[in-house]
Structure 1
């Protein structure tokens, strides 16, 4: 009889403890389910779109092309932006070839080559123009600090788009703006 009482007592205590642990989360879930869910928490940097970055880059290139070491690169960069804008409406969910899917190491080499053709003063002026037009701090893209990005790209095993987005998120960008900046940067540089 003593053994049955022990089993009943331990079963009752276990039920009370289990009911307390389960009922509190259910009550909280019910309380929070009535609140609207805000899915736009990831996009908190004003209302920037990828088109804003395209326009800002094109203006920055045109404004600073006289300072480029090789002025012909300005025309190539402007053409790259126009091509990217015209192709943005094309369904690009699966892209197996192209600038965005090249290896990060190859992309870093190409970025370095373009930077040398532009020159340090023109590069910094161009980045500052984009910053002023978009209201976004692009400190990691200035001449002196972009080498950290290039090192990250060289050591990454991802595509250049994924690696650059990861780097920008790691440096404090929200993921949406980081993806816009990475895509725009890659499409106009390469």
Structure 2
């Protein structure tokens, strides 16, 4: 069980830090210059727009104290999503994301089960097994690591340990479908 807790901590650290290449690419891009202020024109307040995540029936969403979102059946989180405002251009490729997972999970046996990407998303499904102190490996479990660009923002997705293959599939679809909810 300690290995699963460690895996959760590592997975969340991967999300907290973003992918390895994301920060580097973000630093390489010039920041836009602020628009000139016109004293005669009052600033227009920005409208808050919600985030829409397609969830399977029975799943709930919870906003955590650190600002992340958790999704899953009541009382059992399956998927964590972190928002990185303004980092949309740093969307990693599926290969970069897989390399980041490999680097972050050096203490685990792992295999990349599926890599998928498009113009605005990268998804990597893996199987992880904890290396045991006796030299063996624990039971493998599936995991998802993903990134979704929506406009200028980047959403990072990861499943928690001990989820099922079906839940990883559902989390994959949820991550792929993240969008901003249009104001009414």
* TM-score in terms of structure 2 length: 0.28
Q: Which has the higher helix share?
A: 1
Structure number with the bigger relative contact order (C-alpha 8 A, sep ≥ 6) is 1
Q: Which has the higher strand share?
A: 2
Which protein is bigger by CA-based radius of gyration?
1
